[in-house]
Structure 1
Amino acid sequence: MTGTFTISLDFELLWGIFDKVGTRYKPEYFSNTRKVIPEMLDLFGKMGISVTWATVGMLFAENEEEWKHYSPEFLPSYRDKKLSAYEWAKNHGLRPEVHFAPELIQQIIQTPNQELGSHSFAHYYTLMRGQSPEQFRQDLQASQRIAVEKFGVPLKSLVFPRNHINELYLGLCLEEGFEYVRGNPKNWFWQETQHESFSKKLFRSADCFFPMGTKPSYNENEIVRFPGEPLILPASRILRPLTKNNPAFNSIRLNRILSEMEVAAKNREVYHLWWHPHNFGNDPKQSMLELNKLVLHFLNLREKYGMESRSMMELGQKVKKQGVLA
């Protein structure tokens, strides 16, 4: 057994934050994101880094006509309508540069070692009041349909938007073809993310710089497979966005990740890092410099300890072979 380095990315563009920023978003932020994603792919492809791109299904569409064609018939009926991507589109319209990205998805598919996964079709919140299991099922079906019909790729890995993991929906996920789901880190401040509090946010932020909870890496044997459910692959750490004009904080935060990766490699454990590609939008150049450092550090750990790079699907397939069932 060797250590495993897993990366999963929540690829969403404006669909991930429309309910927070409305129309106040900065176009250059997403323009930068669209430019930096091919740079990420080039780096991952050249260095043999496996990555899961958990992608909002709406990004697969070419235009509004295709978006409507693939949208499910039964839309989420949140009590708070501002949470609905469909309501937002109806009220504000759709813009290709922030709502559609089929050319980037094609690049993901064409890059070696990249897994195309799902972040639901409409950035669906499974723990918000008003929505139902059948609405979520149709959302997952829309994601699979557009992925298979447009790109010939069935989706196997799923990341719940906002880390809202509804355990009652896990069996449904497996029924719709999703065999692997990213879980939240084990610490209390990552649980029940639909109920945010100041203390949770404070501890999550502080934990990026100083140890505030348990060790983030874990042994593969700790991943338990429950019958009738997808395999839950816990996250270890989020790569927080750079803080402008604060090199000391940025350095501490990055060094913490590098140190945790080395602990995982030495102990032959899993280290599952995640972030949003649009987090690189504020400072693409410096963000890519950091990512290069992370990748070079992994290559050193691979050389020294035999650490392996695996996507969520690759990690899940390895765990399944071990046959650990609850």
Structure 2
Amino acid sequence: MGTVVISIDAELGWGFHDHAVADRPTDRIERSRWGWERLAELLAEFRIPATWAVVGHLFERECNGAHVGHPSPSGWFAHERGDDPMDEQYRFAPELVEALVESEVDHDIGSHTYSHVEFDADYATKPLARAECDRAIEAAEAAGLSMDSFVFPRNRVGHREMLAQMGFTCYRGHVPDTAGDGPYTGPLRKLAAATVVTDPPPLVEPTVDEYGLVNIPASLYLFGFEGPARRLLSATVGDPIVRQAKLGVDAAAAGEDICHLWLHPNNLTTEADLTRLRDICAHIDSVREETDLTVETMRTVAARTKPEDVSAV
């Protein structure tokens, strides 16, 4: 019996706050709430639970932007202050989280740190990692939630011992770049994968690491092939990511491993993006009805992988 897992990096504007203002993708930021709401609606429509790894600051309703005592690099919270701060709707979102909790779908609310710190970056000291975990947990607990799952911002894995100490039980790990084994590199590799490769994305198996955490690696980023090439291929041979995702779902249904799909709500900026997700969700639902395929969250995968150390679900 195979499984599909969907994990979501729920960050709104926090995913880009460390970029120079001129380098921030304004289209993705400005559509991030729209994308979040549409994604939640799609998952509810198809009864698909997901792991929403939420930046902890989004649980907050207000702040002064100072974050006194937080051991962050100089200027880390500058986007909250100054003459032209990032709009509050991209820094606070308690009502969006509340809607997920109240959904009829049993979503897993996990952590994406408190302020989108990359845990393996040079600036990410141990005190900073602890503060990010502490504040994220406190913000979630104030909303009546406990968190088991952790997704590293930009998939930069680090300070895993800290996660174990703070009570997390699982995280989304890396998966080898198997596409690099062929004759193509760079942009050509992506084009080859979209047009030539017919193998599914790598299925994964959860493992317990040296800190007792359950590592649930990713299989496929659902927005890793974009731009003019995507539009051209979608108009001729169909959306290549949809094809890859369907191959992964089918492979999981035929075996016992996991197809772990992931995305950001701010990836959804157009109706074409919604169509991609709808096609994938519809396929998951169809295969689930016809086979023994299950759809799980990171939390439930961790619970069955190492049940004695995972809180009740």
TM-score > 0.5 by shorter chain: yes
Asked whether the equivalents of residues 201 and 245 of structure 2 are also in contact (C-alpha less than 8 Å), the reply is no
- TM-superposed deviation, 1:116: 1.0
Asked whether the equivalents of residues 72 and 138 of structure 1 are also in contact (C-alpha less than 8 Å), the reply is no
Q: Match of 2:256?
A: 268
Secondary structure of the residue aligned to 1:9 is strand
Give me the whole-angstrom Cα distance separating, in 2, the residues matched to 1:189 and 1:120.
Answer: 30
**For residues 294-318 of structure 1, what are the alpha-carbon distances to aligned partners after superposition, in whole Å with 9 as ceiling and x for unaligned?**
1111122112221011011011112
Give me the whole-angstrom Cα distance separating, in 2, the residues matched to 1:97 and 1:205.
Answer: 36
C-alpha distance 216-188 of structure 1, shift in aligned 2 (>3 A): closer
- TM-superposed deviation, 1:206: 5.4
Asked whether the equivalents of residues 201 and 220 of structure 2 are also in contact (C-alpha less than 8 Å), the reply is no
Q: Match of 1:194?
A: none
Which runs of no fewer than 5 residues in structure 1 stay unpaired? Answer: 191-198
Q: Match of 2:176?
A: 186
Q: Match of 2:102?
A: 110
Asked whether the equivalents of residues 85 and 123 of structure 1 are also in contact (C-alpha less than 8 Å), the reply is no
C-alpha distance 101-310 of structure 1, shift in aligned 2 (>3 A): same
Q: Match of 1:315?
A: 301
Which runs of no fewer than 5 residues in structure 2 stay unpaired? Answer: none
Asked whether the equivalents of residues 15 and 123 of structure 1 are also in contact (C-alpha less than 8 Å), the reply is yes
Aligned to 1:306, which of 292, 295, 312? 292
Pairs within 5 Å for 1:84-233: 85-91=76-82, 92-111=84-103, 112-149=105-142, 151-166=143-158, 169-187=159-177, 203=189, 207=193, 210-211=196-197, 216-218=202-204, 220=205, 223-233=206-216
C-alpha distance 45-229 of structure 1, shift in aligned 2 (>3 A): same
Which residue identity does 1:75 align to in structure 2?
P
Secondary structure of the residue aligned to 1:53 is strand
Asked whether the equivalents of residues 174 and 228 of structure 1 are also in contact (C-alpha less than 8 Å), the reply is yes
**For residues 86-112 of structure 1, what are the alpha-carbon distances to aligned partners after superposition, in whole Å with 9 as ceiling and x for unaligned?**
244345524212222111111111112
Secondary structure of the residue aligned to 1:100 is coil
Give me the whole-angstrom Cα distance separating, in 2, the residues matched to 1:72 and 1:49.
Answer: 39
- TM-superposed deviation, 1:256: 1.6
Give me the whole-angstrom Cα distance separating, in 2, the residues matched to 1:277 and 1:130.
Answer: 27
C-alpha distance 205-238 of structure 1, shift in aligned 2 (>3 A): farther
Q: Which structure has greater helix proportion?
A: 1
C-alpha distance 26-224 of structure 1, shift in aligned 2 (>3 A): closer
C-alpha distance 214-239 of structure 1, shift in aligned 2 (>3 A): closer
Q: TM-score, normalised by structure 1?
A: 0.81
C-alpha distance 23-228 of structure 1, shift in aligned 2 (>3 A): same
Asked whether the equivalents of residues 6 and 262 of structure 2 are also in contact (C-alpha less than 8 Å), the reply is yes
- TM-superposed deviation, 1:51: 0.3
C-alpha distance 290-87 of structure 1, shift in aligned 2 (>3 A): same
Kindly tell me the number of residue pairs found equivalent between the two proteins.
299
Q: List, as ranges, runs of 4+ consecutive aligned residues in structure 1 with deviation greater than 6 Å.
A: none
Which residue identity does 2:207 align to in structure 1?
V
Give me the whole-angstrom Cα distance separating, in 2, the residues matched to 1:145 and 1:72.
Answer: 16
Secondary structure of the residue aligned to 1:16 is helix
Which residue identity does 1:40 align to in structure 2?
L
Secondary structure of the residue aligned to 1:73 is coil
Asked whether the equivalents of residues 50 and 113 of structure 1 are also in contact (C-alpha less than 8 Å), the reply is yes
- TM-superposed deviation, 1:6: 0.2
> Identity over aligned residues, as a percent?
21
Give me the whole-angstrom Cα distance separating, in 1, the residues matched to 2:254 and 2:174.
Answer: 23
Moved more, 25-34 or 171-180: 25-34
